[in-house]
């Protein structure tokens, strides 16, 4: 009985092929026929990586596909980060980008950005969580994000040197200024980021918004 369900897979695939032709298999992943993929482990973000992705995973389509249990359609590209050429793979569900996997060309995975709400960290943090659910203040654990996420705030996971969370929310403060803690309370996780290189706690050198906000608008503070 245990093997009977395995034998039914091939007839089902052949039936689909005979009924609709090759077009029925244009988006079919043959790797999904493997019994190991039927009960794929749940993908989570941990100190070790994201699902099967880690610092030893080659930045190539097949290893990435296997590490993500074949759950996504992969699309590759090239870009630059801090003046350095970067290779990346976008993991898509339909037309939505759910993960961004990047690193040096022809090297190993260096960074994974998770936007899929179905993937949480092993510490229970998930996309959409409020800042206030995990932090009371930003000092030493958060800093302004960089690049395309410059209007967001990145905060480290207290139990990991490889995981951080990107928070985004509304505010009208000056660019380059950290929002105050009371403003951050209503911001929400937009990305979970895994870094191959260990990261220390943030000691931000950038100013925080304070009650003397008028001073940041070019007006001298009153005495």
Percent of the chain having pLDDT more than 90?
61
> Counting every residue, how long is the chain?
223
User: Which long-range CB contacts under 8 A does 87-90 form with residues at least 24 apart?
Assistant: 87/59, 89/59, 89/61, 89/64
pLDDT for 175 equals 82
Query: Residue range 175-183: average pLDDT?
Result: 91
Give 11: exposed, middle or buried? Use CB within 10 Å, 0-12, 13-18, 19+. Answer: exposed
Model pLDDT for residues 64-84, shown as the tens digit of each residue? 999 999 999 999 999 988 788
Interatomic CA distance for residues 217 and 118, integer angstroms: 41
For 132-191, the DSSP string reads: GGT-S--TTTEEE--GGGTTSEEEE-TT-SSEEEEEE----PPTT-BPPHHHHTT-EEEE
Model pLDDT for residues 85-143, shown as the tens digit of each residue? 999 999 999 999 999 999 999 999 999 999 999 999 999 999 999 999 999 999 989 99
pLDDT for 202 equals 58
Mean pLDDT of all residues in the chain?
79
195, 48, 185: which is closest to 129 by C-alpha? 185
Which residues touch 218 (CB under 8 Å, ≥6 apart)? none
Query: Is the whole model's pTM more than 0.85, yes or no?
Result: no
């Amino acid at each position: 009985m245990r093997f009977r369900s395995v034998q039914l897979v091939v007839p089902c695939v052949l039936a689909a092929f005979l009924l609709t032709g090759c077009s029925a298999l244009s988006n079919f992943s043959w790797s999904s026929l493997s019994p190991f993929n039927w009960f794929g482990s749940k993908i989570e973000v941990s100190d070790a990586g994201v699902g099967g992705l880690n610092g030893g995973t080659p930045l190539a389509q097949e290893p990435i596909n296997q590490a993500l249990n074949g759950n996504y359609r992969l699309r590759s590209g090239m870009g630059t980060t801090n003046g350095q050429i970067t290779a990346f793979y976008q993991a898509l569900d339909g037309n939505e980008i759910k993960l961004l996997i990047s690193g040096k060309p022809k090297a190993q995975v260096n960074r994974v950005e998770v936007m899929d709400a179905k993937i949480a960290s092993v510490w229970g943090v998930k996309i959409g969580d409020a800042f206030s659910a995990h932090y009371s203040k930003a000092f030493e654990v958060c800093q302004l994000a960089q690049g395309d996420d410059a209007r967001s705030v990145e905060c480290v996971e207290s139990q990991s040197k490889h995981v951080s969370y990107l928070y985004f929310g509304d505010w009208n403060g000056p660019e380059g200024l950290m929002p105050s803690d009371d403003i951050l309370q209503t911001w929400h996780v937009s990305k979970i980021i895994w870094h191959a290189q260990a990261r220390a706690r943030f000691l931000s050198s950038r100013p925080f918004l304070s009650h003397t906000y008028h001073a940041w608008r070019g007006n001298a503070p009153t005495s």
